[in-house]
A and B are shown apart, each in its own frame.
Chain A
Amino acid sequence: SQTIHQWPATLVQPVGSPLSLECTVEGTSNPNLYWYRQAAGRGLQLLFYSVGIGQISSEVPQNLSASRPQDRQFILSSKKLLLSDSGFYLCAWIGDYTEAFFGQGTRLTVV
């Protein structure tokens, strides 16, 4: 069966520091992968999605970037974090009929 791993679970970073969140998928090949951010009262905002290695689509302009160096690896990064980057970040793999499978999320607090 497919599983999706996301780490770390929690992260506290100072403003201006870099960020790297990693997501890996097991049990499937060539998955469509997604990064969402969840802010209180705003639901899930789609940040990036990738349909293959090296292919990244950005949904909203922001301080973040994404990369897909391997088929089952999806990384969310920032060179310099802002306070507004705080939130709960979720990686997802979308399978048949666009059913989404989520990682456990990363709670990022920028201080």
Chain B
Amino acid sequence: AQSVTQLGSHVSVSEGALVLLRCNYSSSVPPYLFWYVQYPNQGLQLLLKYTTGATLVKGINGFEAEFKKSETSFHLTKPSAHMSDAAEYFCAVSEAGNTDKLIFGTGTRLQVFP
């Protein structure tokens, strides 16, 4: 069965600093990987996804993530944090070809200080 581990439930950075949110997954078959962002009292919005092909994927708002099969990781990065990036971020995994389930991590709350 698939699983996702997000290291660090809270991450704090200064505005303009690098953002790094960690995600490791477990899957018995090639995974599809996702990052979602959630603003307070709202649903989740897709930031980016990896399905096949290029392992470095770019998403909205300047975020990107790299699929590293050898490390079973899909860390999310952004070179320079903005105040508007403060939100909760969820990593998710599903198994390629299995449309039944999308499994989420426990989330990382990102705080951005001026």
Report chain A residues within 8 Å CB of B105: 43
Q: B43-51, B60-68, B79-87: which lies at the A interface? A: B43-51
B32–A98 touching, CB < 8 Å:
yes
Q: Known A32-B100, A51-B100, A100-B102; judge A43-B90 contact (CB<8 A).
A: yes
Q: Interface SS of chain A: helix, strand, loop or mixed?
A: strand
Q: Which of A43, A49, A51, A90 has the most CB of B within 10 A?
A: A43
Contact of A41 with B by CB under 8 A = yes
CB distance from A44 to the nearest CB of B (A): 4
What separation, in Å, do the CA atoms of A41 and B10 have in the docked complex? 10
Q: Known A94-B99, A97-B32, A100-B34; judge A43-B42 contact (CB<8 A).
A: no
CB distance from B1 to the nearest CB of A (A): 11
A105–B9 touching, CB < 8 Å:
no
B44–A100 touching, CB < 8 Å:
yes
CB distance from B26 to the nearest CB of A (A): 15
A-B contact number at CB 8 A: 63
In the complex, which residue of chain B has the Cβ closest to the Cβ of A94? B102
Contact of B94 with A by CB under 8 A = yes
Contact of A35 with B by CB under 8 A = no
Which residues of B in the span 20-75 have a Cβ within 8 Å of any Cβ on A? 32, 34, 36, 41-46, 49, 51
A107–B41 touching, CB < 8 Å:
yes
Report chain B residues within 8 Å CB of A88: 41
Residues on A facing B (Cβ under 8 Å)? 6, 32, 34, 36, 41-44, 46, 49, 51, 57, 88, 90, 92, 94, 97-105, 107
* A-B CB contact pairs (8 Å), 30 listed: A32-B99, A32-B100, A34-B102, A36-B104, A41-B9, A43-B6, A43-B106, A43-B107, A44-B44, A44-B107, A46-B102, A46-B103, A46-B104, A49-B100, A49-B101, A51-B100, A92-B44, A94-B99, A94-B102, A98-B34, A98-B94, A98-B98, A98-B99, A99-B34, A99-B49, A100-B44, A100-B46, A100-B102, A102-B45, A105-B42
